[in-house]
Homo-oligomer: A and B are copies of this chain.
């Protein structure tokens, strides 16, 4: 059927989807899409078709057209006349005069894409391409694509340069933990757990850069918020101090969320997304303030100690929506973080109710101090030879952050499991499909 030229529309030659020609009572319309649902009545049938992520209702009166091949998940072409009605999904329906099935399901599907009883996640991930036909997922991944567009829109408007740095690297950027090793021809290499050192180097020439790309972490734990492969939005800028970076990140988050509410309200409503209030300034708590609060309200912990999930969650319930935790102890931070007042650092995490969305801060730009940082964290300067070398040629003061795009989408959609917002998630148990 794919060889029937008349049936397959040409994107550029104008035989386009109906919505682009305008939707007028009595106009003739063509649809190419797949069947979401069929409701057969005595004298007519209602068929909901998804055409490029939009629902279109077909009305079929001719019983001959309702062939046995036309069922949920069939891919079809249909032609007919538009009728305006507020009973149909997008305010109109098509009364069908011709219809062909272009591709029909060969087997009974493992679950019904219309079921209100959502099948178990593992089953859905095994048949992910089919699972993505659920209207919830069509809305969710449309929102994800739009969020990425709005992040870029913001960063480009602030004159940031989009860059792409290598994912195969020779040296662990934050120490040797949690890396996937691979053989690169005859050399040992790793998958990058972040573009950290590259984006820092690039502030030397380009001043303000960002990258949206995959990061890889060999974390064998199976939690609801970790993946082995995730998408990170990395930002790095010369001449930005800790508070400037928090201002920038906060402003960007506010911009993207406001754009989503403004432009994608319908999709947000359909997935019953939580309402996020970004009207107020995000509070900025110092690490020490959080420690005091935990000591007062939860249990005894010591200044300098890392905060556990339990601590972060309890404080998150107290703090509410978006907030920062800043000025972390230096000893909890990687070698490139700028020290502050001896034992602390010019660093921050952006949190949402106990979930870490972003981590950032000012970076060291003096090569001697960078060597000191390597020593402090037990790393050998030898592995960072090329990186240290460029610091000798005028590295600007700089800072930045990495934002977990998948976690951000958890917050936007209200998903409790990060796997829900990723097309084909990777974790310790899942490498397929």
What are the residues of chain B within 8 A of A397 when measuring CB–CB? Answer: 1-2, 8, 75, 102-103
What are the residues of chain B within 8 A of A1 when measuring CB–CB? Answer: 397
Given contacts A126-B386, A138-B206, A182-B191, contact A109 B244 (CB under 8 A): no
**A183 and B396 alpha carbons, distance in the complex (Å):** 38
B185 touches A183 (CB 8 A): no
B182 touches A182 (CB 8 A): yes
Residue of B nearest to A72 (CB): B394
Cβ 8 A contact of A130, one of B204, B208, B238: B204
Q: Give A101-136 as 1s and 0s: 1 = Cβ < 8 Å from B's Cβ atoms.
A: 011111101000000000000000011111011000
A367 at the interface (CB under 8 A from B): yes
What are the residues of chain B within 8 A of A432 when measuring CB–CB? Answer: 170-171, 386
Question: Which A residues, 377 to 418, have Cβ-Cβ distances below 8 Å to chain B?
Answer: 386-387, 389-397
- The segment out of A78-86, A145-153, A260-268 that lies at the interface is A145-153
What are the residues of chain B within 8 A of A392 when measuring CB–CB? Answer: 105-107
A158 at the interface (CB under 8 A from B): yes
B130 touches A187 (CB 8 A): no
**A391 and B365 alpha carbons, distance in the complex (Å):** 53
Given contacts A11-B244, A51-B207, contact A396 B106 (CB under 8 A): no
A161 touches B180 (CB 8 A): no
**A423 and B191 alpha carbons, distance in the complex (Å):** 17
A259 to chain B, nearest CB (A): 14
B338 touches A2 (CB 8 A): yes
Given contacts A2-B241, A204-B129, contact A161 B386 (CB under 8 A): no
A214 touches B167 (CB 8 A): yes
A177 to chain B, nearest CB (A): 15
A285 at the interface (CB under 8 A from B): no
What are the residues of chain B within 8 A of A238 when measuring CB–CB? Answer: 32, 75
Given contacts A181-B183, A218-B185, contact A393 B13 (CB under 8 A): no
**A94 and B387 alpha carbons, distance in the complex (Å):** 34
What are the residues of chain B within 8 A of A182 when measuring CB–CB? Answer: 180-183, 191
**A158 and B74 alpha carbons, distance in the complex (Å):** 24
What are the residues of chain B within 8 A of A27 when measuring CB–CB? Answer: none
What are the residues of chain B within 8 A of A145 when measuring CB–CB? Answer: 161-163
Interface residues on A, range: 35 or more
A220 at the interface (CB under 8 A from B): yes
What are the residues of chain B within 8 A of A98 when measuring CB–CB? Answer: none
Which of A161, A170, A182 is the most central at the interface, judged by chain B CB atoms within 10 Å of its CB? Answer: A182
A213 at the interface (CB under 8 A from B): yes
A63 at the interface (CB under 8 A from B): no
B52 touches A367 (CB 8 A): no
Cβ 8 A contact of A141, one of B5, B52, B206: B206
Residue of B nearest to A198 (CB): B424
B168 touches A206 (CB 8 A): no
A205 touches B137 (CB 8 A): yes
What are the residues of chain B within 8 A of A75 when measuring CB–CB? Answer: 238, 394-397
Which of A51, A184, A428 is the most central at the interface, judged by chain B CB atoms within 10 Å of its CB? Answer: A184
What are the residues of chain B within 8 A of A46 when measuring CB–CB? Answer: none
**A202 and B422 alpha carbons, distance in the complex (Å):** 13
A107 touches B162 (CB 8 A): no
Residue of B nearest to A161 (CB): B145
| Listed A/B pairs (17) with beta-carbon separation below 8 Å | A2-B397, A8-B397, A9-B244, A10-B243, A32-B238, A34-B396, A75-B396, A103-B365, A129-B202, A130-B205, A164-B423, A167-B216, A167-B229, A170-B431, A185-B218, A185-B428, A198-B424
Known contacts A8-B240, A9-B244, A105-B392; 15 additional CB pairs below 8 A are A2-B338, A8-B397, A11-B237, A12-B244, A32-B396, A53-B206, A73-B393, A104-B394, A106-B392, A133-B204, A165-B423, A166-B424, A168-B180, A170-B431, A171-B432
